[in-house]
């Protein structure tokens, strides 16, 4: 069976992230990935969640509290500034990161992710990531500005050195209305 985009993004994270790892939810949104990651890394791991919108921070903190999950730190800031918020001892255990690019569902559609900050975040995360760690990008591009972000991300990941990284593209090509797709970058041994 083919997995849907969200299920496949979680499947990839499960294959790369271990209990006790540090992980990044680069776009908290409504907290769904944050909950998943919190459970994935367990009580000895830690999730750092980022978003620039108050609504996303509130939504994520609420669902974490409802689920009794405490191994998280939620930060209102751009994912490109992650290194300023994560202690060095946690950075050395960085096993993965997940991004949901586009806009927060049910919010202001003019507030979108942008390739400039996303690529800065990816570069920084990859430089700190442990071997076999993974960055998963769920690319929603069917909105104003989405095409530009998609094109720039595709250009960036195509240029990553194949000796250092595996880069995966996963998406459904016969669906209408600009379906989301996954870009995944795994740091090689």
pLDDT tens, residue order, the chain (189 aa): 899 999 999 999 999 999 999 999 999 999 999 999 999 999 999 999 999 999 999 999 999 999 999 999 999 999 999 999 999 999 999 999 999 999 998 888 889 999 999 999 999 999 999 999 999 999 999 888 999 999 999 999 999 999 999 999 999 999 999 999 999 999 998
Domain boundaries, the chain: 5-187
Fold topology of 5-187: Rossmann fold (3.40.50)
Which one, of 5, 21, 43, lies nearest residue 142 by Cα?
5
Does this model's pTM top 0.85? My answer is: yes
Helix (H) or strand (E) holding 124: helix 115-128
Q: Taken in order 20, 22, 26, 30, is the CA torsion positive or negative?
A: positive
């Amino acid at each position: 069976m083919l997995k849907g985009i969200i299920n496949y993004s979680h499947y990839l994270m499960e294959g790369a992230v271990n209990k006790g790892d540090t992980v990044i939810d680069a776009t908290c949104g409504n907290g769904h990935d944050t909950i998943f990651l919190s459970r994935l890394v367990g009580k000895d791991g830690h999730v750092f969640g980022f978003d620039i919108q108050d609504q996303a921070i509130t939504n994520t903190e609420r669902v974490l509290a409802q689920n009794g999950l405490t191994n998280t730190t939620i930060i209102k800031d751009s994912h490109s500034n992650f290194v300023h918020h994560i202690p060095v001892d946690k950075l050395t255990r960085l096993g993965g990161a997940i991004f949901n690019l586009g806009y927060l569902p049910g919010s202001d559609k003019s507030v979108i992710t942008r390739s400039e900050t996303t690529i800065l975040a990816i570069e920084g995360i990859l430089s700190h990531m442990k071997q076999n760690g993974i960055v998963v990008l769920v690319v929603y591009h069917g909105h104003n500005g989405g095409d530009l972000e998609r094109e720039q991300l595709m250009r960036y990941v195509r240029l990553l050195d194949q000796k250092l990284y595996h880069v995966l593209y996963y998406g459904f090509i016969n669906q209408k209305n600009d379906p989301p797709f996954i870009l995944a970058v795994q740091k090689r041994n």
